[in-house]
Amino acid sequence: MLGSGIIRGFIETARNFAGSYCSRERLTTIQYPEERLAQPESARIMPFLVFDGADPKAGLRCTACTICEQECPPQCIYIIKDAVKKPDHIGKMQMQPKVFDIDISVCMGCGICAEVCPFDSIKMDQVFELSSGERFNTFLLHKEQLAKPNEYFRKLHPSDAAETDARRAEDKIKAEAKARAAAAAAAAPKPPSSPKPGPPPKVPAPVPEHAEVAT
């Protein structure tokens, strides 16, 4: 019968219409902003920098190695190294950035910077409400705006953060043990060696798979 296909279509539409009152499957609307979609742990929008402890300046994990700057596909990271070094979590003196800027009006949120960072410093944020009427002053984020505490990172990416924290704690224990051993060796009476305490132990920073530290 001509029109039977249309009628069958109408029945489908009616089923969906009626179903939208009782079935969550058919009524999928999220009442943003009152209601928010839970973002998965892996969600990534824009990068941020992790710092340990309470002071963003002293605890910043970034060592200004510029790997992220080189690998960033749209080249939206800009780093200037500081002349002054500071100790990292295992007490080794590391470079630190004087300027660390990310232009989020260019950033494509690909997450390659977080992937290649060998110091667990740059991670992906999940805040997407970034709109602004002003282009020039709001979208160039400086080091101060980018730095977020480790607790924030733990909240966003619990499993990733747990793995990172465990690894860093292990590094620290290893470094301390090595320092103790070095100190003990230095303290032992050896005729040629001088009695002053040994230099800080040289422990390579944790390097994840596939990453290579820039030369």
Q: Which lies closer to another protein via its Cβ, residue 90 or residue 104?
A: 104
Asked if 198 contacts 186 with a C-beta cutoff of 8 angstroms, the reply is yes
Region 75-94 residues binding another protein, contact defined as CB under 8 A = 75-78, 80
Asked if 50 contacts 153 with a C-beta cutoff of 8 angstroms, the reply is yes
Stretch near another protein under the rule CB under 8 A, chosen from 28-36, 84-92, 180-188, 198-206: 28-36
Stretch near another protein under the rule CB under 8 A, chosen from 88-96, 122-130, 166-174, 178-186: 122-130
Among 39, 57, 155, 204, binds another protein (CB under 8 A): 39
Q: How far is the CB of 5 from another protein (least distance, A)?
A: 3
Q: In whole angstroms, give the CA distance from residue 48 to residue 52.
A: 13
Determine, following the binding rule CB under 8 A, whether residue 112 of this chain makes contact with another protein.
Answer: yes
Region 7-26 residues binding another protein, contact defined as CB under 8 A = 8-9, 11-13, 15-16, 26
Asked if 124 contacts 68 with a C-beta cutoff of 8 angstroms, the reply is no
DSSP codes of every residue in 184-208: HHHHS--SSS-SSPPPPP--PPP--
Among 21, 32, 54, 83, binds another protein (CB under 8 A): 32
Q: Which lies closer to another protein via its Cβ, residue 71 or residue 176?
A: 71
List of residues 6+ apart from 21 with CB closer than 8 A: 27
Stretch near another protein under the rule CB under 8 A, chosen from 49-57, 123-131, 180-188, 197-205: 123-131
Q: Which lies closer to another protein via its Cβ, residue 89 or residue 123?
A: 123
Region 133-162 residues binding another protein, contact defined as CB under 8 A = 133-136, 139-140, 142
Stretch near another protein under the rule CB under 8 A, chosen from 85-93, 132-140, 170-178, 189-197: 132-140
Burial zone of 96 (CB within 10 Å; 0-12 exposed, 13-18 middle, 19+ buried): buried
Tokens 């069958």 belong to residue:
8
CA 171 vs. chain centroid, Å, equals: 19
Distance (Å) of CA 209 to CA 54, 116, 117, 138, 171: 29, 9, 11, 35, 16
Q: How far is the CB of 123 from another protein (least distance, A)?
A: 11
